[in-house]
Amino acid sequence: MVERFLMTGYQTLQDVLPIILIILFFQVVILRRYPNHLKRILVGSIYMLLGLAAFRLGLDTTLVPLGRSMAEQLLLFGSTPLDEKAWFQHGWLVLFAGMIGLAATMIEPTLIAVGSRVQELTAGELRGIHLRWIVAIGVALGMMLGSLRILLGIPILSLGIPLILLTGVLAMLAPKNIVPLALDTGPMATSVVTVPLVAAFGITMATILPGRNPVLDGFGVIFFSLVMPVLSLLIFALVRGLKQQPQTADIKEE
């Protein structure tokens, strides 16, 4: 285990090193000044590297194998042989993908912080908990859609392109002040815990299912979990705007 941690730490250092070099270049060469509190920065950087190494080791040890194991068990669940099952007989598998997306998004620290800030900036007009639920439901639907795509063997572009076009249309129709927030919801809702779990889940599905290609069919679940929360928030804004229009008209008549 120690040897594995050291190897993971070395790989993490290689990944982080370019960022460190870029910051040092601009700090020393461009700004020509050393950073304040250099000792604290160095100590914090060591903690960060150790934390990242431990986190990566934890992912490889727990979440990735868990994703593989859950996909395999849910695909083989029941008495019907896998090669005789229809796609609608994998309901528990699709439900699991959706529940993972919902639960992970609701506890995502970035989304919690953004939700609180949005509530503050809108003077409570859009509450943080409502934003989190809208985004979480979108992520859950995206992961369920991604799982169904693998089960049905649908090419990702056949679903991805219409969703992107729909996003563009809704973005033009939705209130302008909500569009930037909506476009940011996908990245901030897809946590680093959910991504490796669901990626391993999708790859295992494509590996076990007959006639599926792990490379062509196994990936793409995360893409739908990025797009669907954007759509869910845009749809929410449109529906809310339509409901408020009659109220505004009544106020003007009075």
Pick from 135-144, 185-194, 222-231, 233-242: least confident: 185-194
The whole-angstrom separation of Cα 193 and Cα 251 is: 48
Answer yes or no: pTM beyond 0.85. no
CB neighbour list of residue 60: distance below 8 Å, 6 or more residues apart: 8
Q: What is the mean pLDDT of residues 120-126?
A: 81
How many CB atoms lie under 10 A from the CB of residue 177? 10
Mean pLDDT, the chain, whole residue set: 84
Burial of 141 (0-12, 13-18, 19+ CB in 10 A): buried
* DSSP one-letter code for 209: S
pLDDT at position 251 = 46
Q: What pLDDT does 105 receive?
A: 84
Give yes or no for a contact between 118 and 178, defined as CB atoms under 8 angstroms apart. no
pLDDT at 138: 92
Find how far residue 227's CA is from the centre of its chain. Answer: 9
The string of pLDDT tens digits covering residues 33-77 is 877 787 888 898 889 888 888 888 887 888 788 888 888 898 888
Question: How many angstroms separate the Cα of 30 from the Cα of each of 22, 107, 208?
Answer: 11, 40, 53
Burial of 165 (0-12, 13-18, 19+ CB in 10 A): exposed
Query: Could you write out the DSSP letters of every residue in 171-204?
Result: HHHS-TTTHHHHHHHHHHHS-TTHHHHHHHHHHH
Say which range, 2-6, 10-14, 64-68, has the weakest mean pLDDT: 2-6
Residues 136-167 pLDDT 10s = 999 899 989 999 999 988 888 899 999 999 99
Instruction: Return the higher-pLDDT residue of 140 and 124.
Output: 140
Evaluate if residue 104 carries a pLDDT over 60: yes
HSE-up of residue 58 (Cα within 13 Å, Cβ side): 8
User: CA-to-CA distance for 25 and 28, rounded, in angstroms?
Assistant: 5
Residue pair 201/143 in contact (Cβ under 8 Å)? The answer is no
